[in-house]
Amino acid sequence: MTVIEKAEQQVGTSTTRIEAVDKVTGAARYAGEYPLDELAHGVVVTSTIGRGRVASVGADEILAMPGVIAVLHHGNAPRLHDPGDATLLLLQADTVPHQGAVVALVVASSLEQARAAAEALVVTYDEEPHDVGFTADHPKMYVPDHVNPAFDTETVIGDVDAATQAAEVVVDATYTTPTQQNNAMEPHATTATWHGDHLTVFDSNQGAASVKQSIVKLFGLDQDQVRVLSEHVGGGFGSKGTARAPVVLASMAARTTERPVRVALSRQQMFSLVGYRTPTIQQMRLAAGRDGTITAIDHLAYSQTSTVLEFAEQTAVISRMMYATETLRSRHRLVALDVPTPRWMRAPGEAPGSFALESAIDELAEACGVDPIELRIRNEPTTEPESGLAFSSRSLVACLREGAQRFGWHDRDPRPGIRQDGRWLLGTGVAAATYPARTAPSTAAATAEPDGRFTVRVTASDIGTGARTALTLVAADALGVAPGQVTVLIGDSEFGQAMIAGGSMGMSSWTWAVTDACHELLVERAQREIPADGITVTADTAAKVKAMSRLSRHSFGAQFAEVAVDVRTGEVRVRRMLGIFAAGRIVNPLTARSQLIGGMTMGLSAALLEEAIMDSASGDYVNHDLAGYHVAAHADVPSIEVGWVDEVDHEVNPAGVKGIGELGIVGAPAAIANAVWHATGVRQRDLPIRPDRVIDTHPRPNTA
């Protein structure tokens, strides 16, 4: 038997990415980069009307163009079975539900030929009037059955109206957030190839096992007929959480043309085909005693969905668990418009919801004359307000205190609009962050190789987060060896069912299965010699996850921002940000820090820049590219510091990790908006805080 020395604990040590060299040298292959023989290229053609029907597709002329192999459209595409996601039923009917919907796929021998032919393709339409006007008083506004993923649409505890009437202080305000678009660096792409009745797809996604299930259902295949490979993925934010158009279209086209086919979306197409964050309108009412003790929280959130699929953002759910209150009302309203289907985008629910809640908390602190950190501490609940459940751990107060100290909060003069630096007004703001810490069933396999090394297989996805590296540290510790002795293989549906890299549940779910498999492997290996093909042990956490005790499990954080505002030009510049988080055990501090900074940067971007603008006449987003849709760039991002408080939580999973994918964005826009108020004395309740909005709220005197 191979003797293995007990290694130092790896979890908690900063470790560079295992695949870093592959990535920077170009050796790492992404879904659209596999060089298959006879590869053909599919280019998606999208609708140019806001609603109606396809009247004709001028395929014949296009088929005569150089290199063109096929034009797929609703009249000739293979028939699909409903996989429970109507957005994937592509080219099945002549209906056009919104601008930018898929109406055809042009396949040619080269990408250039396919692109030229797609541009030349003439599609005519029978146009019908579209409705893209999102307003709270829309006549078709309704109460959804539940909100994403399975929360009650309404929660009511006690009588908020009576509590509000009796309250000494009331904050009653409406906040809005715009449509925000997922813009992962790598656009969605798939390379699909059939060998007889077996389909292999290289696909850019957050979960190969989940995409496989969609393909199995869509094409009516058996489990062993489909393999999804996703070794490297260039970001997702939620937009790759489930299958998207390219994997369906490439699989279809590869079958029809009997050649491997690659389909990659253009940046512009991502604005209508991958799912975005719904705009929200949020009516928020807080009632409190003069000392800031909250007696009522009333959160009513409006959002939109498409006519294709109901997606109900869980915007008001955050208000059910964040602060102690005697009475609570958290409700959602939804309207189905002729718009692209909104889906997940980093911290669905909590990201927009925290903007309203954490802004309103700041307004309440102002109204009560209580420091906003102190006000939050006064309203810290002992159990989850909605359910009465105990928290598995809740370190919000520790984050606020640690952050206050590191940020220099104690010197802060609470009065707004009094600090100046040349043309700039300066202010600081704080907000709380939270995200659920859930765990889902996963499987993993661990192999002891005859040469003394170990191989771990899990259908995890590393979308740039460093998941592969973190899992290697966890596996090394579970096996008691150095990380260099362990190879972790991910992104292959052959490895079995596993949670997606989403909902901040990836690490918590995968580490459990990986740890179990490694521990059982050590037991097996101690009992016998390692045969030539190694010893492999598999683990499935389904039963253990199901048996978890009922607790409220969340991560928390405190966001701080300092801003400079020029009320004459309307400019808002963030000078510094600090985030202190509590998310259980931090597996790899190096990549964890990057991920939290990334979330905070995305929050800054949402606070000041991001907004997809819907044109009611065309039904299209007018700024559907990165020239018009502004994402924070280096010059927008100042010093961002991240820290965390030590938190040990044995109730989340054996590794004690809570997940950090979404937490960093939550509360960041509110911290910035609260800082803008502190700088200027004027509340900004609509995102993004554009220059025109700042100018509009600071009328200049009529004198020269």
Residues that bind ligand MOS (CB under 6 A): 206, 236-238, 241, 344-346, 348, 502-503, 662
* Shortest distance (Å) from residue 105 CB to ligand MOS: 26
**Cβ proximity to ligand MOS, 133 vs 149, nearer residue:** 149
**Cβ proximity to ligand MOS, 241 vs 466, nearer residue:** 241
Written as six digits, the tokens of 541 are 């956490």
**Cβ proximity to ligand MOS, 10 vs 239, nearer residue:** 239
| 3-class secondary-structure state, position 171 | strand
Per residue, the 3-state secondary structure of 415-475, as one string, reads: CCCCEEECCEEEEEEEEEEEEECCCCCCEEEEEECCCCCEEEECCCCCCCCCHHHHHHHHH
Using CA atoms, how far apart are residues 359 and 672, in angstroms rounded to an integer?
10
Pairing outcome for strands 123-127 and 95-96: unpaired
Has 662 been annotated as catalytic? yes
**Cβ proximity to ligand MOS, 381 vs 503, nearer residue:** 503
In the sheet that holds 280-288, the strands lie side by side as: 154-157, 327-337, 294-306, 280-288, 169-177
Cβ-proximal residue to ligand MOS, closest one: 238
Pairing outcome for strands 443-448 and 454-457: antiparallel
The residue assigned the tokens 């809570």 is 658
Buried b (16+ CB within 10 A) or exposed e, 25-37: eeeeebbbebebe
* Shortest distance (Å) from residue 237 CB to ligand MOS: 6
CA angle 631, 636, 641 (to 5 degrees): 110
**Cβ proximity to ligand MOS, 412 vs 468, nearer residue:** 468
* Shortest distance (Å) from residue 341 CB to ligand MOS: 14
* Shortest distance (Å) from residue 233 CB to ligand MOS: 11
**Cβ proximity to ligand MOS, 106 vs 602, nearer residue:** 602
* Shortest distance (Å) from residue 465 CB to ligand MOS: 10
* Shortest distance (Å) from residue 463 CB to ligand MOS: 8
Among the listed residues 366, 611, 647, 662, the single catalytic one is 662
Q: What backbone torsions phi and psi does residue 147 show, to the nearest 5 degrees?
A: -120, 160
DSSP classification of residue 369: T
The residue assigned the tokens 């859930």 is 438
196 contacts 223 by C-beta, under 8 angstroms: no
The residue assigned the tokens 């014949």 is 60
**Cβ proximity to ligand MOS, 385 vs 506, nearer residue:** 506
Alpha carbon dihedral 497, 500, 504, 509, in 10-degree steps, equals 10
Helix (H) or strand (E) holding 377: helix 372-378
* Shortest distance (Å) from residue 558 CB to ligand MOS: 22
**Cβ proximity to ligand MOS, 325 vs 605, nearer residue:** 605
* Shortest distance (Å) from residue 660 CB to ligand MOS: 12
DSSP H helical ranges for 506-583: 506-527, 542-546
* Shortest distance (Å) from residue 241 CB to ligand MOS: 5
CA-wise closest residue to 285 among 429, 162, 141 = 162
Using CA atoms, how far apart are residues 295 and 624, in angstroms rounded to an integer?
43
Peptide bond before residue 688 is cis, with ω within 30 degrees of 0:
yes
Using CA atoms, how far apart are residues 200 and 188, in angstroms rounded to an integer?
17
Using CA atoms, how far apart are residues 596 and 690, in angstroms rounded to an integer?
25
**Cβ proximity to ligand MOS, 219 vs 276, nearer residue:** 276
Active site residues: 662
